[in-house]
Structure 1
Amino acid sequence: MIGLLVALLSAVVYTVGLSVQQRALHGSESISVNRPLHLARVLLGNPRWVFGCLFTALGSVGLIVSLGLAPVSVAQPAFAAGVACGILVVTLVVGERITRGEYVALALMPVALGLLTLSTADGAETGTTADTGLLVTVSLATVAACLAVVALTGGGGRSMSAAALGAAAGFAQGSAGLQGKGLGGLLADHGLWAAVAPALLSPYPYLYAVGWAVGIVLFQTSLQRSRASITAPVSNVAGNVFMVVMGTILFGERLPDDPLMLALRIGGFALTLVVVVLVRGNVARAEADTSRRRAHLADAAPTAPARNGTDAPGA
């Protein structure tokens, strides 16, 4: 129960950061994954985005703690469901338009993840250790696949939709989540201070940084092209399905033996696929709305004079 509460509280903190990042990105220069230095300059030079990033990082740390206190199929879905509900509330509060498909998708997502949570009601044990070699192989292969797909599709992802970039970001962040599960296991087994040395000697923090960095670049690019209510559910669904499946396998958390519990688990995964289909149908309209809004802001903004005649747009 404590792990579930920690996951939900972490989701609230993460959602606040995500909302701040979205507002910052929609008012900044355009970014692209094939211009990494320019992307880093735009993001790190935006204090509002950095502030939001700190909140999302704090929420991610809370998720790591919860993963050491509850099975991955309980903590991770609870966190994702909390983020989805939080995004819907924030979207309504700021007065952004929500389509019928988005309402249905955001309503189904917590139901889907709730079914996954209920499927562990028979008291499944929390796995805290995994085969290190296999975990490293799966994580690196996943991140490499995400980068390869973006690099080979449309020249650095330029022609990929926000939803496709969000899905790739979800898989990369899911690989980071597996490392979070490993770190959470060390915290549960050794305690806070005693876990520091084993954590630094393990591959978990370093692979976490790789997956997180790749995931955040892909996600921020998708977030600027659309709304968080579009990109975040796709990213969350992809990342959660990947992490729950691979985390259950790698950390030895068995599937439910009871037929009803197993049916709930399968039903939860089926609904996550429905969510992806529903959200994907609204991507084009959302991206068009966002592009028009950004163009309007650009036209309304005063043009800054070039310094010494050397400044150029996008430099």
Structure 2
Amino acid sequence: MIGLLVALLSAVVYTVGLAVEQRALHGSESISVHRPLHLARVLLGNPRWVFGCVFAALGSVGLIVSLGLAPVSVAQPAYAAGVATTLLVITLVTGERITRGEYVALGVMPVALALLSLSTADGAETGTRADTPLLVLVTVVTVVMCVGAMGLAGGRGRYVSAAAMGAAAGLAQGSAGLHGKGLGGLLAEHGVLGAVVPALLSPFPYLYAVGWAVGIVLFQTSLQRSRASITAPVSNVVGNVFMVVAGTILFNEALPDDPVMLGLRVGGFALTLIVIVLVRGNVASAEADTSRKRAAALVPEAPEPH
């Protein structure tokens, strides 16, 4: 129960940071994954974005802690559901329009993730140790594929949609999350001080940083092109499904034996895929709307006549 509460609180903190980042990005210069130095200068030179990034990072740290306290199929879904729900509240409070499909997607997502959580109600054990060589291999392959796919598509002059970039970001951040669970396991086994040396001697913090860096570059680029209510659900669902499936296998967290519990798990995954379909239909209009708003915000005001 504590792990679930930590995951939900972390999701709220992360989403507040995400909302601040979005506002900062929509008023800044255009960024591209093909111009990394310019991208870094634009982001790090924007105090509002840095402030939002700090909040989002605190939320990510909270997720690491929760992954050491609960199975990945409980903590990660709770975190993603918390992000979706908080995001919807922020969107409504700020007066931003969202479509019926987005309402349905954001409504279905917490249900899907709740089913995943309920599927572990029979007392699943929390895995704290992974098959490290296999975990490293999965991470390297996933990150290389994300970078390669985005680079190949953009390099050929094709326009990469915010949803596709958000999905790639979700995979990269999901790979980072697997190492976050590894760190969370060390915290659970050794405590905060006792986990320092084992963590530094493990590949977890370094590959977490790589996956996080790739994920944040892809996600921030997708976030500038569209609304958080479009990119965040896609990124969260893809990353969540990847992390729950891979984490369950790599950390030896067995699937439910009870047919009802197994049905809940399968149903939850099926609904997460429906979320992606619902959101994708609104990508083009959302990107066009965001482009118009950014263009209007970046046009300098005409000087007053003397």
Same fold (TM over 0.5): yes
CA distance in 1, matches of 2:97, 2:212: 30
Equivalent in the alignment of 1:26: 26
CA distance in 1, matches of 2:268, 2:252: 20
In 2, are the aligned partners of 1:150 and 1:156 still within 8 Å (CA)? no
| Residue correspondence of structure 1 range 5-16 to structure 2 within 5 A | 5-16=5-16
Equivalent in the alignment of 1:307: none
Equivalent in the alignment of 2:298: 298
CA distance in 2, matches of 1:157, 1:187: 45
Equivalent in the alignment of 1:50: 50
What is the Cα deviation at residue 191 of structure 1?
Answer: 0.6
Equivalent in the alignment of 1:39: 39
| Residue correspondence of structure 1 range 122-133 to structure 2 within 5 A | 122-133=122-133
Matched, 1:266 2:266: yes
Matched, 1:207 2:201: no
TM-score, structure 1 normalization: 0.95
| Residue correspondence of structure 1 range 1-315 to structure 2 within 5 A | 1-155=1-155, 159-301=159-301
Q: Letter of the 1:68 partner, please give it.
A: G
Deviations 1:63-115 (A, max 9, x none): 00000000000000000000000010000001000100000000000000000
Structure 1 unpaired stretches of 5+: 304-315
Q: Letter of the 1:256 partner, please give it.
A: P
Structure 2 unpaired stretches of 5+: none
What is the Cα deviation at residue 131 of structure 1?
Answer: 1.1
3-state SS of 1:191 partner: helix
Deviations 1:171-225 (A, max 9, x none): 0000000000000000000111000000000000000000000000000000000
Higher mean Cα deviation, 293-302 or 256-265? 293-302
CA distance in 1, matches of 2:75, 2:113: 10
CA distance in 2, matches of 1:213, 1:299: 31
CA distance in 1, matches of 2:161, 2:154: 10
What is the Cα deviation at residue 299 of structure 1?
Answer: 2.1
How many residues end up aligned between the 2 structures?
303
What is the Cα deviation at residue 42 of structure 1?
Answer: 0.1
CA distance in 2, matches of 1:199, 1:157: 42
Supply the RMSD in Å over aligned alpha carbons: 1.1
Shift in alpha-carbon separation, 1:191–1:118, aligned structure 2, 3 A: same
Aligned-pair identity in percent equals 80
What is the Cα deviation at residue 295 of structure 1?
Answer: 1.1
What is the Cα deviation at residue 154 of structure 1?
Answer: 3.1
